[in-house]
Structure 1
Amino acid sequence: MAMARVAAAVLGLAVLLPTAAFPCGALHLQRPDNTMASKLLGTWLYVAGAAQFPQHLLEMLLIDHGHLHVEPHAGEQQLLITQRVAVGDQCLTNNSTYFEITTSNTTLVKHAKTQQTMGTLMNLRSDDVLLIQYQLQRERTYLGLYLYARNLSASTAHREEFEHHAKCLGLSKEEIVYAPWKTELCQVKEIEEENNPCTEPAAAVTASPPPGTHQPESTGS
């Protein structure tokens, strides 16, 4: 029961605010074009996270692996995000968030019911990686940064770029956690079969999302 409570806390939705300006010239918002929606579709594997909020840092240490799956939702401006994350012996799922590609040339992560902005897609030099910045308001503003990739062979350059962005936001190396991927509890092929029942299953791979409202589910090996 204790692990279940911890697992639920890992992905508890926080009230998050839009990204603010930071004194780092290399840090930019992702500027979407007409191909942005198609570039975001499909499965993204969780590589690493960085967080200032102590509870989120602890939660990231408990995550083994996870992934997010992006699919069309309401035209090309909104893309549904389905997330899975493995904590202990549980695979937790959330589909309450979506990407919104806005007319102001930013891509936001928003909560499906409240329409609150939870994060912003940041700019990286490759279409094979995603960098999402979050802000959590408590007694002060806490920052979070999450790195995803199309596969687990994210290059050294991509990791260095992620760490550079984290440093720009005032996040130290001690606040960065890379997912160990020791198990295959959450399998991508299962979520792709659920979202696309007529398609053939994909290879079994996994990764982890930022905090969200997840509920436990039973998974096969």
Structure 2
Amino acid sequence: MARVGVAAVLGLAALLLPTAPSPCPPPRPSNTTASKLLGTWLYVAGAAQLPQHLLEMLLIDHGHLLVEPGAGEQELLITQSVAVGDQCLTNNSTYFEIAAGNTTLVKHAKTHQTVGTLMNLSSEDVLLIQYQLQRERTYLGLYLYARNLSTSTAHQEEMELHAKHLGLGKGEIVYAPWKTELCPVKETEEGTSPCTAAVTASPPAGTHQPGSVGNPHLAGQ
């Protein structure tokens, strides 16, 4: 049940499975947009049109995206990790594609079908991804990621504005509480090969936790 729920939350078509070790990635892309997307993005919040998916978001304690260079400058590999219950589940079945006009699409690795779009925001330190969840009709979902957990009020307001356009209110946005440490967050050192060294990135002491405000379901737990 948890695996199916997480797959729906992340807008994936396949069940979440452990990610197999991968060889050293190609050199960093020269495309400016692609270069800004590389690295680790922490999961902050989600919102969805389908009540079932909204409830599934409540199962997530924390998560992150690791974006790495792909085969070409226009493609970036995505490894998604989420902590659900006592498990850390990972998946690498999607990738970013930098299309014409720097439009960034999320595509399925096997079918190459578009499953989401990266929305334009005022800051380069946050990502807002709009997913298309296919059921009997198309349901939309929003997922907010940031470089660190101290997201500003302005970033949360932008999330709320995009959610409003989907017919969702503040009470339907679920913020991740980040109470456990099941999914280690690793950041590649600048200028160092990812095959030789990496450092662990964790929220600094005293950092605002996304789950503490804006989420009536998780606040106070």
Question: Please, what TM-score do these two structures have when normalized by structure 1?
Answer: 0.76
Q: Name the residue aligned to 1:7.
A: 3
State the Cα distance separating 1:34 from its structure 2 match. 4.2
Q: Name the residue aligned to 2:42.
A: 45
State the Cα distance separating 1:192 from its structure 2 match. 5.5
State the Cα distance separating 1:46 from its structure 2 match. 0.4
Q: Name the residue aligned to 2:52.
A: 55
Q: Name the residue aligned to 1:136.
A: 133
1:134-173 equivalent positions in 2, closer than 5 A? 134-173=131-170
* CA distance in structure 2 between the aligned counterparts of 1:98 and 1:6, rounded to whole angstroms: 23
* CA distance in structure 2 between the aligned counterparts of 1:123 and 1:100, rounded to whole angstroms: 15
Kindly provide the amino acid, as one letter, of the partner of residue 3 in structure 2: A
1:63-212 equivalent positions in 2, closer than 5 A? 63-189=60-186, 196-204=194-202
Describe the SS at the equivalent of 2:181.
coil
Describe the SS at the equivalent of 2:197.
coil
Kindly provide the amino acid, as one letter, of the partner of residue 133 in structure 1: Q
* CA distance in structure 1 between the aligned counterparts of 2:128 and 2:43, rounded to whole angstroms: 10
**Structure 2: any 5+ residue segments left out of the alignment?**
15-29, 204-221
Kindly provide the amino acid, as one letter, of the partner of residue 138 in structure 1: R
* CA distance in structure 1 between the aligned counterparts of 2:38 and 2:169, rounded to whole angstroms: 31
User: CA contact under 8 A between 2:31 and 2:73: conserved in structure 1?
Assistant: no
State the Cα distance separating 1:104 from its structure 2 match. 4.8
State the Cα distance separating 1:128 from its structure 2 match. 0.2
Q: Tell which deviates more after alignment, 168-177 or 83-92.
A: 168-177
User: CA contact under 8 A between 2:82 and 2:90: conserved in structure 1?
Assistant: yes
Kindly provide the amino acid, as one letter, of the partner of residue 73 in structure 2: E
* CA distance in structure 2 between the aligned counterparts of 1:129 and 1:173, rounded to whole angstroms: 19
Instruction: Provide Cα deviations, 1:135-168, integer angstroms capped at 9, x if missing partner.
Output: 2232332110010000000001100111011101
Percentage identity across paired residues of the two chains: 77
* CA distance in structure 2 between the aligned counterparts of 1:85 and 1:67, rounded to whole angstroms: 7
| RCO comparison, higher one (Cα < 8 Å, 6+) | 1
Describe the SS at the equivalent of 1:165.
helix
**Structure 1: any 5+ residue segments left out of the alignment?**
16-32, 206-221
